[in-house]
Amino acid sequence: MTSERINLLWDPELIERYDLAGPRYTSYPTALAFSEDFNGEAYRQTLERSRASGAPLSLYLHIPFCAHLCYYCACNKIVTRKRDRAGPYLERLHKEIAMRSEQFGGQERPATQLHWGGGTPTFISHDEMRELMRVLHQHFRLADDDSGDHSIEIDPRECGPETLEVLRSIGFNRISLGVQDFNPNVQKAVNRIQPYDTVANRINVARDLGFGSINMDLIYGLPHQNRETFRETLEQVLALEPDRLSVFNYAHLPDRFMPQQRILEEDLPSPEEKLGILEDTINRLLEASYVYIGMDHFAKPDDTLAIAQHNGDMHRNFQGYTTHGECDLIGMGVSAISQAADSYFQNHHDEGVWNLELDFDRTPLKKGYQLSDDDRMRRAVIMELICHFSLDKQAFAATWGAPFDQVFADTLPARQTMQDDGLIEDNAERLAVRTPGRLLIRAICQLFDAHAQKTQAGRYSRII
């Protein structure tokens, strides 16, 4: 199914029935399948395959520092007001950059995408930003013009016009802002105070500086939210005309994420109210001519992501939906995840251990996963459905050497139920996700997931 405008058919009873816990499918299998059995030999073989492929590279740098604690956050972060904490971390990050470049042949392969995430990448000083970008250019073949896709997550509270100028001068052409909600009561409850005027200023300055794409993140399900207040937030967001919008479901898991213990459960919207917020949001964004990319993502029709979906070129990885699926993704920094040559691998979450490994000139890997042929096949199915909402069964048979319905015969009863419920259209030629199924795409993908059944449901957020 292409990215033409759709009219969402909203069926609360159907949504409630399928709204179970499940993976977000930024990878298949998910990070919960990673194991410390992915040892040095497995990593060496991955490097050999990656270098032999000559695939372009996508670089991700994790900068974990935050000056403020947002209570909803589930990211790997270090909350501190001491800006000098960043210096030693960046020295080791420079070392890891050089190490990974040597391992992956970074100077022989184009690096077409770069992303700085966190944490709050804009926590570091302007000189540290310039030096980090210099080191990256020293060790990787990054574009020195806007032909590269160079993005960064910014915190509008501390990323003023001068910082935006620095970011643009060192090559960034995309920014992503965490907005979450503009309502003052909600902002106070999650400890993230950022007035509308502040965000509007940052976006206006960024456009004047020539940033080519602006993404904004919203979260529904936060304390004190209701349909009326979130409609107000959405109108303010639309007035700023972001190129892309991510509208995430807040998963309240205080047992797993300590900051969430500061959010009172009685302040959260009811499941019915939360579902109403999502319904209003999707309908309003469709009315405003945004393309529903899938999952939580929306884009303007002329955005590269919407165009890639329309052309069948969109992919999904640990950074979400992307137009760079042909790349090997190299993650650097504490907890960063990589994807290369049919392997996934992740750095140590603990900063002290990550530091120690680099101090002893060792690759700071914690765990990983080598895909089997069955994993690769199932990943192809899941990614086709979650990116394009359609799968050609004849193309599947030609690629994998067996009929789709034979390989996945165990899913036939569940697929029949989903077809009866109007979620999918399933015939001899094609499995297509119908409009109501777009909201529940994670449930559809789980039919083909051999790992999800082995994982405790409590490790995943609910689909809606």
pLDDT tens for 197-207 read: 999 999 999 99
Average pLDDT rounded to a whole number, residues 427-449: 92
Domain check: are 310 and 449 in the same one? no
Per-residue pLDDT, averaged over 232-253, amounts to 96
- What local confidence, expressed as pLDDT, does residue 453 receive? 63
Read off the pLDDT of each residue in 394-406 and give the average, rounded to a whole number.
Answer: 97
Q: What digits encode the pLDDT tens for the residues 142-151?
A: 999 999 999 9
Give the confidence band of 463 by pLDDT, cuts at 50, 70, 90. Answer: low
Last residue of a domain, one of 275, 306, 332: 332
Taking only the tens place, the pLDDT of each residue in 138-183 is: 999 999 999 999 999 999 998 999 999 999 999 999 999 999 999 9
Domain boundary pick from 281, 314, 332: 332
Residues 430 and 285 in one domain: no
Contact 432, 423 (CB under 8 A): no
The most distant pair of C-alpha atoms in the chain lies apart, rounded to whole Å, by 62
pLDDT for the residue numbered 203: 97
The per-residue pLDDT for 3 is 40
- The pLDDT value given to residue 151: 97
Domain co-membership, 238 together with 201: yes
Contact 449, 28 (CB under 8 A): yes
Number of domains the chain contains? 2
pLDDT band at 1 (very low <50, low <70, confident <90, very high): very low
- pLDDT on residue 21: 73
Domain end marker among 302, 332, 362: 332
Q: What is the pLDDT of residue 19?
A: 75
Rounded average pLDDT over 398-423: 96
At 213, which helix (H) or strand (E)?
strand 213-220
Query: Looking at residue 6, which CATH number applies to its domain?
Result: 1.10.10.920
Return the beta strands (E) in 221-314 as ranges.
Answer: 244-249, 291-294, 297-299
Phi-psi region of 200 (alpha: psi -120 to 50; beta: other; left: phi over 0): alpha
DSSP-derived 3-state class of residue 145: coil
CATH of the domain at 143: 3.80.30.20
Half-sphere exposure of 118 (CA within 13 A, CB side): 27
H or E stretch at 430 = strand 430-433
Provide the domain limits for residue 21.
Answer: 1-29+372-464
Mean of pLDDT over the chain: 93
Mean pLDDT on 379-391: 94
The SS3 call for residue 288 is: coil
21-44 tens-digit pLDDT: 778 888 899 889 999 999 889 999
DSSP three-state, residue 403: coil
For the stretch 66-98, pLDDT in tens is 999 999 998 889 999 999 999 999 999 999 999
Compute the Cα dihedral for 378, 383, 389, 391 and give only its sign. negative
Mean pLDDT over 351-361 rounds to 98
Average pLDDT, integer, range 434-451: 91
How many Å is the Cα radius of gyration of the chain?
A: 22
Contacts of range 31-34, beta carbons closer than 8 Å, 24 or more positions apart: 31/337, 31/344, 31/346, 32/451, 32/455, 32/459, 33/369, 33/451, 33/455, 34/344, 34/345, 34/346, 34/367, 34/368, 34/369
Same domain, 56 and 136: yes
Query: For residues 59 and 262, what is the distance between their CA atoms, to the nearest angstrom?
Result: 34
One domain, residues 324 and 388: no
Would residue 345 count as lying in a domain? no
